[in-house]
Amino acid sequence: MALYGEARDISLFRHINRELLHNIISQQVIYYKYNLTETKVNIYGEATSGRIFEKPVLLYSLIKRSNQSSPIQDNLVGFEQALTFRFLRDDLVSANLLVEIGDFVMWQNGYWEIDNVISNQYVVGKNPDYPYKDNTGENPLETDLENFGTNLSVICEAHYVPADRVGIDKQRL
């Protein structure tokens, strides 16, 4: 039997994380969910009349910033910066939001497109969805592993996209 990671422990972790993220760090972002079914595309897969987004959602996030760079291409100075957004899974569930590659996050009047979604940070390293039972439905070593562990966070790696390429403006919100 596992010692840590049961419902009371997970409740404590959730409470502390929510308190830290919502009341102490209090860093908010606006999440734009890309609506693939409503966006009209041509035979080349291009959205000729612009992308369609769902209603924006305000979320709390822990943000890890990389250093900015200014690459020079075609005698023009650009801007590049990668960010990592960390969300509480419970916040995403309560907002009925599934984070996917291609969605956008607005932070400090800049837009970042999600490149990668990481969803495998398990409390005490256990995923309760996979308690590893044999063909009789039992685990000969542990009998109650489905009651331990959980996944608390979703991590999104993103890159900067200029606002004119995103196509989101205040009139369309």
Query: pTM for this structure?
Result: 0.81
| Residue range 96-106, pLDDT digits in tens | 999 999 999 99
Q: How confident is the model at residue 24 (pLDDT cuts 50, 70, 90)?
A: very high
For 64, 69, 99, 135, the CA distances from 152, given in Å and listed in that order, are 18, 32, 14, 30
Looking at residue 131, its pLDDT comes to 66
- Give me the helices (H) in the chain, please: 7-19, 89-94, 163-166
| Residue range 31-43, pLDDT digits in tens | 999 877 777 777 7
The SS3 assignment for 151 reads strand
Domain positions in the chain: 7-166
Q: Is the pLDDT of residue 171 over 50?
A: no
The whole-angstrom separation of Cα 64 and Cα 112 is: 13
DSSP 24: I
The whole-angstrom separation of Cα 124 and Cα 122 is: 6
Looking at residue 149, its pLDDT comes to 77
HSE, CB side, 13 Å, CA atoms: give it for residue 98.
Answer: 3
Q: How confident is the model at residue 173 (pLDDT cuts 50, 70, 90)?
A: very low
